[in-house]
Amino acid sequence: MSRKTVIVLVVVAAALLAVMMGLMLAFFIAGSASDVPGLKTWNKGLGYIEIKGAIVDATETVRQLKALEHNSQVKGILIRVDSPGGVTSPSHEIYEEIRRVRDGGMPIIVSMGSLAASGGYYVSAPATKIVANPQTLTGSIGVIMEFPVLKGMMDKLGVKVEVVKSRVHKDIGSPFRDMTDQDRELLQGVVADAYDQFVSIVSTERKIPEDSVRAFADGRIMTGRQALAFGLVDTLGTFEDAKRIAASLCGIEGEPRLIRPSRRLNSWVRDLLEGTAEGLFGGFGFPRLRYIYY
């Protein structure tokens, strides 16, 4: 190997080492610069997460909220909601986590996208400020439970299912038999109770009397501008407007830096599979409560 070649290799190696050292230094600064007085202002930013598509699991959203809450660089959290809602329990888990972080003193601003209805509104309700586009579809306050009945088709095919159950309601919602009046009454009670909880949360978070909420909480959707008239959102604006509002609330001057928590690879796969299954099959085969708009 010639001397010239060696020199070139040494220079390249030195350059690569310098780049690596620079990246490591930048990573160190990003992780700890909040404790360095001269870098505090530069480090201020808004935590940013997205709630998109059908809500079928709360695990990743809750994890991201906690990560942002404990990041000293984050002065507030901006959440982009673009969802038709989904299953009741994960919607409520996300709601509770947003409320807890907000009550801990961190401002949370929701920016509504094209759709923030039913469970999408449920998770938005506890925000410090809700910003909706004038044409955002929101509202759809209500609960639905649905499941197919295959009995008629099975009768035509000469297929039947034998059921052995402990008591009368153990197979309630089964697709293999018709619903009885007693079944319907019982399930209607379950839906009504979940609906009452939804109404109560909207009333509490938006400071609207329950009777007033029930007047428009009949499952209807509405535009962002209509929602503003009902008191369901705080102001109209774009995502950029929501960023400026969030920055102002958090005392950040100029264009705010958005700090995104890392997502685990398995969460991407889970969201894809669960979102696809929910979209294709919904509650097929078993009854479950959903805050969702079609």
Q: What is the pLDDT of residues 222-239, one digit of tens each?
A: 999 999 999 999 999 999
Model confidence at 151, in pLDDT bands (50, 70, 90)? confident
pLDDT at 24 over 90: no
Structure tokens at 24: 């490591």
- The beta strands (E) that lie in 102-169 are given as 108-117, 129-132, 137-139
This model's pTM is above 0.85:
no
State the Cα–Cα distance between residues 107 and 82, nearest whole angstrom.
20
pLDDT at 38 over 50: no
CB 44 within 8 A of CB 75: yes
Enumerate the domain spans of the chain.
1-43, 44-292
Calculate mean pLDDT across residues 276-293: 62
57: left (phi over 0), alpha (psi -120 to 50) or beta: beta
Structure tokens at 15: 């350059």
Secondary structure string (H, E, C) spanning 261-274: CCCCHHHHHHHHHH
Structure tokens at 189: 């009670």
Model confidence at 33, in pLDDT bands (50, 70, 90)? very low
Catalytic residue IDs: 118, 170
**3-class DSSP state for residue 167?**
coil
Q: What is the DSSP letter of 233?
A: S
Give the mean pLDDT of the chain.
85
Q: Does domain 44-292 have CATH number 3.90.226.10?
A: yes
Calculate mean pLDDT across residues 7-34: 55
Percentage of the chain lying above the pLDDT 70 cut:
77
> What was the pLDDT predicted at 32?
37
